[in-house]
Amino acid sequence: MMRGRHVQSPRHPIALRQELVTEFERLLWIEPKYDKHSPAEFTVKYDSDDSTLFTVTGKKYGDRPVREFRDKSGLPMFESERVWPALRWKKPWRVRLPGNDQDLVDINLRWKPHTFDMTFRNALAKDAKRDDEKLVTLEIRRASALCAFAVYADGRKVADIRESVVRNRTISFWGATRDNHIPTRKIMEVLVADGFDLSLVSSLSCALHSWSRTNIGI
């Protein structure tokens, strides 16, 4: 456990992809690429051995800016796409399988700034008899004046996402500049409880990284 931070296991394991649920508490690094010629926009790494878990590449289909999440072998897992500005107040981004138009998660912004819900079908609730029992809703809240967010499931904080005070030279505050843009790309650190999907929290962390820079969406 990191000093001053804690997470708690969800009441039931939660996953979009069941093979990527962690069996113990993990610390991940979300590292943005500073080289504009790099094919990877983000790299998600384990803190324990600095090995790569996922890579995130940016690509376009026509006018659609899409992020593609790939596992460590390079196989695509899913895509994250920005929603058009006119609709972004309701749903800032979408998560889909490659080549599929069906949303994997339903994202709903709340009236409270920097707070929203994510609802999706839990891949680990196969024994549930009713469809509503197969769904899970996460609440994502801004945690402080820093770029920090907490992820809750049934009142338990299952993930903590924030700028790294270890790997960044400076820390950004909300409203740090006149237009609320954070001037540089920051390394994020993600503390994840056991029983939670690493691919889901990585996708969310990359989206929040950009959301915290623009206060709009990814």
Annotate 31-98 with DSSP letters as a single string: EE---TT-S-SEEEEETTT--EEEEEEEEEETTEEEEEEEETTS-EEEEEEEPPGGGTTT--EEEE-T
Domains and CATH numbers, the chain: 23-214 (2.40.160.200)
Q: Tokens 């920097």 — which residue?
A: 114
Using pLDDT thresholds of 50, 70 and 90, give the confidence band for residue 174.
very low
The per-residue pLDDT of the chain, averaged, comes to: 78
Q: What is the pLDDT of residue 72?
A: 85
| Residue 55 to residues 23, 78, 123, 126, Cα–Cα distance (Å) | 21, 11, 22, 29
**C-alpha span between 125 and 18 (Å, rounded):** 10
Alpha carbon separation from 128 to 60, 111, 136, 177 (Å, rounded): 38, 32, 12, 48
This prediction's pTM? 0.81
Say if CB 121 and CB 8 are below 8 A apart. Answer: no
